[in-house]
Structure formats: structure tokens, C-alpha cells
Amino acid sequence: MTWTNLATGGRILIVDDAMENIQILHQALRDEHDVLFALSGEKALEIVQQQMPDLVLLDAVMPGMDGYAVCATLQGAPSTRDLPIIFVTALSQPEDETRALEAGAVDFISKPFNVAVVRARVRTQLTVKRQADAMRELTLTDALTGVANRRSFNETIDNEWRRCARSSLPLSVIMIDIDHFKRYNDHYGHQAGDLCLQQVSAAMKRCAARPHDLLARYGGEEFILLLPQEGLAGAEVVAQRILDEVRRSAIPHAASDTSGLVTVSLGIASVTPPADGTDPVNLIRTADACLYRAKQNGRNRYCKSTED
């Protein structure tokens, strides 16, 4: 069930077992926000999975799954842990408020409510959430190239690893290094070196555009590409595309004895993660060993692991 508006605000999910409460809140918020609603806790969790709201207004007392149980479920899952929840309830004792805040709610509004107060508090919590999202984005991005940073890669591969293990799907990583980058910096200077890193990472990003693919700067001139649900053959196609795309960028490299242009070397490793709790460390190590072989074999090429 959904009412959609072209409002520029957020997407708000109202959860209440009483339709009249939903109607009042909907009227208070619809001009500013995209409003969804659910008449039960169970339905609320379904809607969250399908249409991820920016904020939940949650009734505490409902038959079946009550607000505290909904809150605990959302808090317990990594994908919904940061979803702000405001409890809206007729309970008005300090201990009710405490219980809501301890359950993980960001705010508490008592019924009967004043719509101006609801509007203001929703606005405040949306602002806080956007600031937190922006901050998180900053901490997960490499400032120079705009691709993910190593920390973000580590978090993501752990999640994707478990996801692929659960569904017995392969996962590949490609370790990528810019050839003779130290010579590039020595020859052209560090500012040109920074520009080169930006151009090469942009070229590589164009080669791995599926929603779950993740390109990260692993350190210095080293990058790593995560390809969930992709086996060795698919990863090879991506690696070849990267070689071609970097070549097409045609960045001159007068100090390279591999080519007159900037090139990259790549190491590919692929595995179907076992369901035994093993971590991805060995996969990354294998990709790194393959990258080393690509360097040994003359650079501007990829090498792959023999196991799939």
C-alpha cells in the first residue's frame, strides 16, 4: 500500500494498526514526503525489504508483532540497522519512552500528537540521517579517485563472500596494478601521477558496471575489483575489457619500456566460497600471486589462477 508524492523530502513509512492515525500522519507529511504505510509490524518489515524508506514512524502497541519487536528486527539486520525509527504512541510514561530509546529508536512522540511537532521532528531526523549517510560515504571512498577505499572493499567482500557461500555462487577478484607507475611519477611529476590514477580508475570503472561490482583503490597504484556471482571466465572478459579500455585512454608514458602508453597488469582469482566459515584472504592472495606472474611475464596482460 503506498501513496506517492513528488515531494522532495524523504520516504517515510508509517506503521500503525489504526487507520485513523495513519491518515492523520499521512496528511501531516504528504506535502513534503513520499509516504508509505503498514497496518501491522509484519507488513512493515515486508515494505522495508521492498522499498527501503528513509525513516519509520512506528506505533508501539499493535496486535501481533508490536513496535518493539519490529524495532529489534530492524536493528538486528545490517541492511536496516541505520534506518531511523521514531516511536509514535499513546504510552506516555517516562519508562515507555526509555524503553523505545533503548530499543534503538531515535525519537519518541506521544499521542495525541501535534502535527507541526511531528513534521519538525521528521525533518530533523531526515537531516541527521542524510548527514550520517554523507559521512559514511566519505569514510568509504578514496578521495583522489572517487572509487571505494580499501576499508570499504574489506567490508563488502566479507558480505558478498557470505552471500555467495549461502547460494553456492562463484565470486572473483581482480588485482590490478599500473605498470611502471613510479617511473611515471618520476618523469611527469606527482600531480600528473594523480591525474593518471584518476583516468585509469575511471577507465576501469567503465568495465565493471554491474550493481554489485566494486572497484576499490587498494593502495598506491594498486586497485582491486570485486565481481560477486562471477566465475573465472566472466572475470577474464572483464580483465580483457580493462586492458583494452586503459589502452584506449591513451595516456602517454614516455618512461615505460612496456609501451609508450600507460598500461596495467592484472591477476584474476575465482572461487565458490565454501560454507565452512573460511574467509576471502586466500582468494586475494591468489589474485596477488597472479598479478605478480603477469608482471613477470611482461606486464600489460592478465594472469589467472588455475582453479575455478
Using the minimum distance from each CB to Mg ion, give the nearer residue, 108 or 218.
Answer: 108
Tell how strand 34-38 and strand 2-3 pair up.
Answer: antiparallel
Q: Least CB distance from residue 90 to Mg ion, whole Å?
A: 7
**How many C-beta neighbours within 10 Å does residue 302 have?**
24
Candidates 3, 5, 7, 17; binder of Mg ion (CB under 5 A) is: 17
Contact string 62-101 vs Mg ion (x = CB under 5 A): x---------------------------------------
> Whole-number minimum distance, CB 204 to Mg ion, in Å?
52
Query: Cα-flanking dihedrals φ and ψ of residue 80, to 5°?
Result: -120, 5
Residues 97, 160, 221, 230: which is the catalytic one?
221
Q: Which is nearer to Mg ion, 22 or 216 (CB)?
A: 22
Q: Which is nearer to Mg ion, 41 or 267 (CB)?
A: 41
Centre a 10 Å sphere on the Cβ of residue 1 and count the other Cβ atoms it contains. 9
- Shortest reach from residue 304's CB to Mg ion, in Å: 58
Q: DSSP string covering 21-60, please?
A: HHHHHHHHHTTTSEEEEESSHHHHHHHHHHH--SEEEEES
Bridging pattern class, strands 302-304 and 264-271: parallel
Q: How far is the CB of 69 from Mg ion (least distance, A)?
A: 13
φ, ψ dihedrals at 288, nearest 5° = -65, -40
Among 34, 54, 59, 160, the residue binding Mg ion under the rule CB under 5 A is: 59
Q: Which of 11-19, 48-56, 166-174, 263-271 is the region at the interface with Mg ion (rule: CB under 5 A)?
A: 11-19
* Binding range to Mg ion, per CB under 5 A, among 61-69, 217-225, 247-255, 269-277: 61-69
Do strands 55-59 and 85-89 pair parallel, antiparallel, or not at all (unpaired)?
A: parallel
Does residue 54 touch Mg ion according to CB under 5 A? no
Dihedral in degrees, nearest 10, Cα atoms 230, 173, 212, 135: 170
Catalytic residue list contains 32: no
Q: Which stretch binds Mg ion (CB under 5 A): 53-61, 78-86, 235-243, 267-275?
A: 53-61
Pairwise CA distance, residues 85 & 23, whole Å: 19
Q: Does 61 bind Mg ion (CB under 5 A)?
A: yes
Cβ-in-10-Å burial (0-12, 13-18, 19+) of 93 comes to: exposed
User: What pairs with residue 56 in β-bridges?
Assistant: 13, 85
Which one, 37 or 153, has the nearer CB to Mg ion?
37
Size of the site for Mg ion (CB under 5 A): 4
The least CB distance from residue 87 to Mg ion, in Å, is 11
Only one of the segments 10-18, 67-75, 116-124, 216-224 lies at the binding site for Mg ion (rule: CB under 5 A); that segment is 10-18
Residues linked to residue 226 through DSSP beta bridges, in sequence order:
173, 214
Smallest distance from Mg ion to CB 41, Å: 10
- Of the pair 20, 307, the CB lying nearest Mg ion is at 20
Nearest-angstrom CA–CA distance, 39 and 64:
11
Footprint on this chain of Mg ion (rule: CB under 5 A)? 17, 59, 61-62
Residues catalogued as catalytic: 221
